[in-house]
Amino acid sequence: MKHTPKPPDTSKAVPVGWITKLGSPLRASPADQSEIGTLKGLTFAVKDNIDVAGLPTTAACPDFAYTPQKHASVVHRLLQSGASLIGKTNLDQFACGLNGTRSPYGAVPNSFNPLYVSGGSSSGSAYVVATGEVDFSLGTDTAGSGRVPAGLNNIVGFKPTRGRISAAGVLPAAQSVDVVSIFARSVPLAWRVLMAAASHDPLDPYSRSATDLPWRAQPFPAEPRIGIPDVLEFYGDEASRLAFETALARLRQMGAQLVQIPYAPLARAADLLYGSALVAERHAAIRSFFDANELSVIEPVRSIIAQSRRFSATDVFEAQLTLRQIDQEVRPMWNDIDFMVVPTAPTHVRIDDLQRDPVELNRRLGYYTNFVNLLDYAALSVPSGLRSDGLPFGVTLIGQAGHDWPLAEWGTRYHAAVQCEPHARWGATGQTMKPSDLTVPAPPDSALSLEPEIRVAVVGAHLSGMPLNFQLTERGARLIQTTQTAPHYKLYALADTQPPKPGLIRVGAAEGKSVQVEIWSLPLSQYGSFVAGIPAPLGIGTLTLQDGSHVQGFLCEAHALVNATDISHHGGWRSYMQSQNPLSQPV
């Protein structure tokens, strides 16, 4: 990119939330902007552990500061997409903390009540979005830093699957589990930013391509099974407990089935992040600087990083093995649920209280977040309304790696339900949300998802608009075409089936007819569950289409035709159903 940004004037104080606020927005040159410009007209800020060429990266440690010559990969992509950079935001030093007070530039207050913490470490990035100073911002998330500030400030915090967004040019906290995160006031906007930012980048050793891990491009079921911790912890905060009960009631009203899941193994995984040799990765991120300038690092960040010296290489391998054992223990949980929902944070904390007890109160803020990156999950924090004391409460949807879009789809629906209630707010602003802010975003296209699909021909109750069509759509199936079989089939209306169903059988060419069918493309990962739900006497076999091609499709066992009615002359099930009720509109 061709630009000559002026260095910041550090002699002047910057507004709350900022470390560097530019006098004029930074944009890509016209020659470097994408023709698509998916983010054109939007403004953003980045956490100050993310490189912007020509601006110091301080990580909230002035003695550490350096001035990069190139943008972080993610900044480059967002500028290419037409967004304008407004500046860099305050953070807990070296992204070590979940509260937003561990900075020599000052504590970032909660956007609703300045007596309370904003959450961290991406504190400034959340604050400037909540207050409407930018449209979206970037944070980083290792232990919950892209989610806790969102929940405490009534905005969306999207922590994508690890490796979706390049971390090249991002100073790590713990590189193997770090994720660049997105703050916005709505889920659809956060999803747009993710689609603009996502890319495989060989400069990031943990980057993943869609080939490495396909994007799931089908939604969760209409009535999903949602995992809820069997033991909930709010540290005596009754307002948060009641707010989560309200959230659960809202989920039930939306059709969700709530399933209790054992939280103990997830809590054990969370404890490993700071309570085992895994903390040594934080020392590895800034080792040369820290060992030479330890007193330049503020407390308690200094003590947290310094404790890594007491661990051996053997301890690291033992901690990694323990984590893998926990991962194996919790995997069966996903057989019973589609995704999890937890409080984003169990409580709000006053700034003065946290400064008196900086370690324990910080730990409490991460009770529901620390395990997520360690176990390679995706997560989305969504506003869930205001508590009885007027402070925000958020819930986090957690899914398996690659399930970013179905989380966004359900998160949008949930946020829309919240916004329909009285006293709903958009961040900490007085603005109201537009319909586009609550419109479910389109899934990643097939070229991006790379998930293999299989074509299935449906002939009866699974046709579009028919009673069982949802069994296809809830699995992410797409209607490809309406066509006909080869003239080798007969169609029967089966007796005593609910909902009414036809039976298709293959016969000789002299006695058969062509029958109308729809061809649906079904993700291969969903094919087994779809076929398993087909009741006898129906099943899946190979159909021949009128063009001579072959496709998987519904066929019927011959014994079921004893009391069935031959309806082949209607040419298809839709026409037959219309003939049974001629006064109804065509389906």
Question: So which residues are the catalytic ones?
Answer: 47, 121, 145
Cα–Cα dist 507/486, whole Å: 11
Measuring CA to CA, which residue among 383, 366, 382 is closest to residue 173? 366
In 117-186, DSSP assigns E strands to 136-141, 156-159, 179-184
CB 162 within 8 A of CB 208: yes
Sequence-ordered list of residues with C-beta below 8 angstroms from that of 182, at least 6 positions apart, any chain: 136, 137, 138, 139, 146, 156, 157, 158, 160, 190, 193, 194, 197
Could you give the count of Cα atoms lying within 13 Å of 329 in the half-sphere of its Cβ?
15
If one counts every other C-beta atom within 10 angstroms of the C-beta of residue 292, the result is 9
Which residue is it, tokens 């091609």?
549
CB 262 within 8 A of CB 237: no
* DSSP helix/strand/coil, 9: coil
Show the tokens assigned to 514.
């062509």
DSSP H/E element including 20: strand 18-26
Helices 73-80 and 187-197, interaxial angle, to 10°? Answer: 110
Could you give the count of Cα atoms lying within 13 Å of 70 in the half-sphere of its Cβ?
7
Q: Which residues pair with 555 in a beta bridge?
A: 539
Q: Which residues pair with 226 in a beta bridge?
A: 258, 339
